[in-house]
Structure 1
């Protein structure tokens, strides 16, 4: 099934649209990680502080997005797919992996504190890069595989229920 030929229902389109906004923020924080990696001196620490702020903000937006999928879309799809289908398991694993990278970034940044040095900043920024890489692949997989599959297997009523739940948040 070619994803570009699939017309998405309102809830799937909403999730896809959220990916666009999240990708934009991810690209911005990825650019900061490159500055941290390739710069030297005090600018590294300044950029790290900027990255920390961006990741905090991004993390809360990502959690709100993931919650819609984890709490409503995935269980709905899993009940239709049966236990032999591993797609939902893969999606949940990728969510956990991305969240873990972001959590590690935030935890280590807090532990390093304001006295962070350049080497620590560069080492901790790697977690942001790992989150970025995980999420780029994950969003792509959702858009090309998961959302078209959801369109195929979920009933009109289930899609309407998802839409109601998404709007209620």
Structure 2
């Protein structure tokens, strides 16, 4: 594996996905700071409501980018790797389940923080933000699993021709 530019993978397709993980992690760090703010003692209700709306906007923006990344994996990468390792069990099944879990946490957060959030108590605010925190945790572990299990597997197993075709399909922007 190559360490050029701080990336660990040598094949272009895996480098594209790895680089997207770096960008998504950066974005996550920005909104996760707001999640952590809600863990403080004695937060004000008015400031909590403002921060919740800021967090909501940040997550809605983040979801657009995350969805583009996830679609690339699910439409191009997973089907190709699945031809080599199968789909029903093993790492691809778990990774795809995590995609659904992440969507669930983010969807739940967005659903429960709409217009009615202006009526929330401090405890309601904290409870709503927990879903965003869970999404952050699952995403963080998810990226590690992909980068330590799935991406190395792909670099080893995919034929040179499949790696080249995959790279051309993945070489699109997520922003």
Scaled by the length of structure 1, the TM-score of the pair is: 0.90
Are residues 66 and 84 of structure 1, via their aligned partners in 2, closer, same or farther at CA, if it must alter by over 3 Å? closer
- The aligned runs of 1:17-166 (5 Å cut-off) are 17-38=19-40, 39-41=42-44, 42-82=46-86, 85-110=89-114, 112-166=116-170
| Unmatched tracts of structure 1, length 5 or more | none
Shift of 1:115: 3.4
When you count helix as a share of all residues, which structure comes out higher? 1
Residue by residue over 1:23-56, the C-alpha shift from the partner in whole angstroms, topping out at 9 and shown as x without a partner, is 1111121110111221511211111111001110
Q: How many residues matched?
A: 168
SS at match of 2:38: helix
Single out whichever of 29-38 and 134-143 deviates more from structure 2: 29-38
Alignment RMSD (CA, Å): 2.2
Single out whichever of 101-110 and 28-37 deviates more from structure 2: 28-37
Aligned partners of 1:8 and 1:148 also within 8 Å: no
SS at match of 1:37: coil
Give 4+ residue runs of structure 1 displaced > 6 Å after superposition.
Answer: none
Are residues 123 and 85 of structure 1, via their aligned partners in 2, closer, same or farther at CA, if it must alter by over 3 Å? closer
| Unmatched tracts of structure 2, length 5 or more | none
Give me the whole-angstrom Cα distance separating, in 2, the residues matched to 1:129 and 1:93: 18
